[in-house]
Structure 1
């Protein structure tokens, strides 16, 4: 793999990571309510899913998608249902400003559940699947990559995704600091929860 190809791939993955979609909206919702630190697990879950799709693309994701369509649908519905549940839970929560000041324990306890959530969101996102099936093969011949190239591509993809997604999270978290009153926090919860429900519904209704 040439330096130009590697750099172009990194930039493409960075742009892909911040393109509006279920994952980005979920990150924004989480960051607005709980801060950027709470998005680390969510981001790692997305990265794990994306790298898995990247590896599958190197070994014929199109064939796998054709033969395992039912499994992909099950993952999509699980991700959609989980997002709707989290949105409903967020709308019915009673988060106040004081809760965010002492939220370190909550961040730690939600880390692993965030990984699961992020994995389901990314794995069930049609945009992610189409990206690795359609775009990457036209961008580079994934089937001809050596094992060292595949390792390099996976590391670069992970880094680009982490920078892009956490950049979105940091931006949303800074905006949330403008919210000062309990009423505003409740409005924020309702708005963020509604976004997550809408994203979950989109995943379920758009195969």
Structure 2
């Protein structure tokens, strides 16, 4: 295994910040948890895990081939990752007072329906696609990754969002109260936005 603890810790932190930024997965999880409680929410969280692992592995395998063909691509992607994080942070800060709408199509009961909804929402989530395909190369030297490294990255990509989604599903009442308070929502979004900016600033120096 070639990855250091610091690299994995920074990646885990970025995954946590990504989870904390409201988006399609939050909408889906809140919709199901509000309609059926934790029993309706956990299958969706498992579906999201499959999508997260899929995107991370595809990003590693696809970009690794490009790196082997074109010298300097990795350095370019590192700066792309930095700029993307800065842009995401700016957009979150700019829209810090915006609320999140619910989607009744996501509340269909059943374990399979919940799992499929979670898989669909993460596969079609532009935030996830942007993160894994555009920014993952900024965290690791993909040309040097071993099988153990890929497993570690995939595991983090699964575990960090899963823990967050399960906790949110279990305490959806408190989370819902927080999100319906415009002042609290703005404060949370500002925090997430500045954290994204901080990660974007750090990436070029790692």
Short-chain TM bin = 0.5 to 0.7
Structure 1 126/153 Cα, relative in aligned 2: closer, same or farther at 3 Å?
A: same
Unaligned runs of 5+ in 1: 65-85, 94-105, 178-207
The runs of at least 4 aligned residues of structure 1 exceeding 4 Å deviation read 61-64, 174-177
- Mapped contact 1:36–1:173 kept (Cα < 8 A): no
Aligned position for 1:127: 127
- Mapped contact 1:57–1:132 kept (Cα < 8 A): yes
Distance in 2 between residues matched to 1:37 and 1:3, nearest whole Å: 35
- Mapped contact 1:31–1:39 kept (Cα < 8 A): yes
Q: CA deviation at 1:63?
A: 8.6
Distance in 2 between residues matched to 1:159 and 1:46, nearest whole Å: 11
Distance in 2 between residues matched to 1:151 and 1:88, nearest whole Å: 34
Structure 1 51/35 Cα, relative in aligned 2: closer, same or farther at 3 Å?
A: same
Distance in 1 between residues matched to 2:39 and 2:175, nearest whole Å: 15
Structure 1 63/26 Cα, relative in aligned 2: closer, same or farther at 3 Å?
A: farther
Q: Following superposition of structure 1 onto structure 2, how do residues 3-82 of structure 1 map, counting pairs within 5 Å?
A: 3-60=5-62
Structure 1 128/170 Cα, relative in aligned 2: closer, same or farther at 3 Å?
A: same
Distance in 2 between residues matched to 1:63 and 1:116, nearest whole Å: 30
Q: CA deviation at 1:88?
A: 5.3
RMSD over aligned Cα atoms: 2.7
- Mapped contact 1:14–1:163 kept (Cα < 8 A): no
Structure 1 length as normaliser, TM-score?
0.60
Q: CA deviation at 1:89?
A: 8.3
- Mapped contact 1:57–1:142 kept (Cα < 8 A): no
Q: CA deviation at 1:6?
A: 1.2
Unaligned runs of 5+ in 2: 67-102, 178-206
Aligned position for 2:112: 112
Structure 1 29/144 Cα, relative in aligned 2: closer, same or farther at 3 Å?
A: same
Distance in 1 between residues matched to 2:131 and 2:150, nearest whole Å: 17
Structure 1 143/39 Cα, relative in aligned 2: closer, same or farther at 3 Å?
A: farther
Structure 1 31/2 Cα, relative in aligned 2: closer, same or farther at 3 Å?
A: same
CA deviations on 1:104-162 (whole Å, 9 max, x unpaired) are xx6xxx11221111111110111111111221111222342110011111112211011
Q: CA deviation at 1:175?
A: 6.1
| Bigger mean CA deviation after superposition, 29-38 or 54-63 | 54-63
Aligned position for 2:169: 169
